[in-house]
Chains A and B, each alone.
Chain A
Amino acid sequence: MVDRTIENFDCGHRACGGCGASSAVRMILKGAGKNVIVVNATGCLEVFSTPYPETAWKTPWIHSLFENSSAVASGIEASLKKQGRLEKEKVLVFGGDGATVDIGTQCISGAFERGHDFTYVCYDNEAYMNTGIQRSGSTPYDADTTTSPAGVCSTGNKLPKKDFPQIIVAHGSPYVATATMAYPMDLMKKVETAMKTKGPCYIQVHTPCCTGWGYDGAKTMEIGRMAVECGLWVNYEIIDGKLTTVKKVKRVPVDDYLMAQKRFRHLFKPVRNDAEIAKIQAIADKNAEKYGIDIE
């Protein structure tokens, strides 16, 4: 059972009002239980939670670099093991999508191959937010970012979102899941499962970013739910390589989700770009087929 009274992520940090990542982290730390050591990659979360001498973390926390969190976690895990502390204390990594699917991939691959007992949470806000909304390998197709700007000759990010969880599955991880901060109970339960599973576990959490995506911060939950309802984000669990749970939905077209965010506005204004919207709809359709999310 998740102990929802645990508050290891304090208020007063510097995240934007309505930041999906900050709410997600608060919930994740409830799911993670009491005795957790956090490793945090450089990025929004690290920056808004720890301007020296202030910290929002009420559990041991370490930040080293942008791309090495899983290697740092490997060292912590080995050290705890050697000291006989691993029975009680658990290691939890937070990395943004940039830290995870781009620059940190090698360190992650090494740590998952070696089989350290830790859980890696990628909070996926679908771009490099801390440095000003540049695209990452996790940025969705056609999103307008500062390095994949929409313009006369461009409809935004030209590459599809990298399927990083599958890369982790290929490493033989015992527990891989996706979740979103918009479904808190599901998120906390998945974190609890990951933390209780021996070996390297991975959870990718959809964390809407009002600043980077361009919507009113009061609507973060709503945006998060819309992503799931249109099939552009799928919540699932893969245990020992097998898909075991999937969040089923009565799917709606992608239009409303896209229209609600400035990063896709160029697909609707000045004129509606049917061809591009159809391509994004095709991505959702493919997700639906692959994971069987449609409620008949």
Chain B
Amino acid sequence: MTMEIMEGSIAVAETVRLCRPQVISAYPITPQTHIVEGLASIVADGRLDAEYICVESEFSALSACIGASAAGSRVYSATTSQGLALMTEVVFNAAGMRLPIVMGIANRAISAPLSIWNDQQDSIMMRDSGWIQLYAEDNQEAIDMHILAYKVCEDHNILLPAFVCFDGFILSHVFEPIDIPSQELVDKFVGPFTPYQKLDVNDPISFGMYATPEYYLEFRYEHDQAVKRAAEAIKKYGKEFGEIFGRDYSELVVGYKLEDADIAIVAMGSICGTVKDAIDEMRAEGKKVGLLNLRCFRPFPSTDVAKALAHVNTIAVLDKNVSLGAKGAVAIEIKEACYGSNIPVYDYILGLGGRDVRKKDIKKIVDLAEKGEGDMFYGLREEVL
């Protein structure tokens, strides 16, 4: 293993190259731009033999991926925020057509007001689209999850698209040491794309037919079952990934100092790094705090969450999103997972639109949770309200 210091987006582009997509179709949007630029130059330099379709919109980007995937090619796209919102109709459609498309999401806030900075509202708004959603804590995870995603999505027992989510700027633009795996190992793990079905004049099939009320419910059921099955597939291939690359992804939820914790923080993405540092300091002060890092939001690993949190007496959920008029999306899931346990679950909406979250904030949130204060926007600047 050789560690290189590299920008997150470039590392993602280099890793996508190793996965050998045959068609790439994407449209630039901050903070995803460096990925599509990176891939464009990789193709221009002949380092990847792929068709790069320079589309006129995100809507077409994902639509072209649908066509290319249905015609039998491995495909890649990446986007964020407004781009993902523009794609909405195609996002749901691609999943319903059960095409194994992998798409990187450099998480960013949603307009209005316009904000190019990080939160996770964009991928969360696609919660019900039937895509797998993985969340990376750091850039190593971001690239590993890309490789893993191809393996899981293309499994003929799964056949789903996946978002690999990594926080915009905080990860996409950060330089950190990273192990870019060898082509040989990626080839060994991912292998060539073998479509389950494809558009082929030698074997004509009809893709994307409409379903009457006699069939629609069953299509949705089978789709739901596939997303649920993906949990086991991620675990299985995550373990295999560990054996080949030395980094294990066999768990959808990862604890940090959680075994003996009284208070559990639940979080997704890069904020987990800050939380871990804060936990180390709180532990030194004698506070038994732990972290549950949600690596996978869809399928939602309810049972794993419930098991991991069963022994704690307080749960504080950090949500970089909000379902306006309700709660943060993660908190809603955690409450459901812990239903019947009587453990209080407090929700903290924070970090929206790139608001910095520091160790001291995590400590304050733990104090609030201990006092039973939660279900709030954390860190509001009262003076501007």
Contact = CB atoms under 8 A, between A and B. Distances in A.
Interface of A: 34-37, 39, 46-47, 50-53, 55, 57-65, 67-68, 71-83, 88-89, 106-107, 109-111, 113-114
B57 A106 contact: yes
Interface stretch (B28-36, B67-75, B162-170, B228-236): B67-75
Contacts of A89: 200-201
B382 interface: no
B68 A78 contact: yes
Interface of B: 22-23, 25, 49-51, 53-57, 59-61, 63-73, 75, 89-90, 93, 97, 199-201, 203-212, 215
Contacts of A67: 59
A171 to B, nearest CB: 12
Contacts of B72: 79, 83
A55 B73 CA distance: 24
B56 A106 contact: yes
B53 A65 contact: no
B64 A63 contact: no
Nearest to A42: B210
Contacts of B61: 71
Given A76-B71, A83-B72, A68 B63 contact: yes
B66 A72 contact: yes
A263 B69 CA distance: 43
Which of A39, A68, A73 is the most central at the interface, judged by chain B CB atoms within 10 Å of its CB? A68
A81 B73 CA distance: 10
Contacts of B64: 71-72, 74-75, 78
Contact of A61 (B65, B204, B210): B204
Given A64-B66, A64-B90, A114-B54, A75 B204 contact: no
B266 to A, nearest CB: 36
A167 B265 CA distance: 57
Contact of A80 (B65, B71, B208): B71
A239 B54 CA distance: 26
A278 B370 CA distance: 82
A71 B59 contact: yes
A110 B73 contact: no
B45 to A, nearest CB: 17
Contacts of A74: 25, 53, 55, 60, 63-64, 67
Contacts of A106: 56-57, 59-60
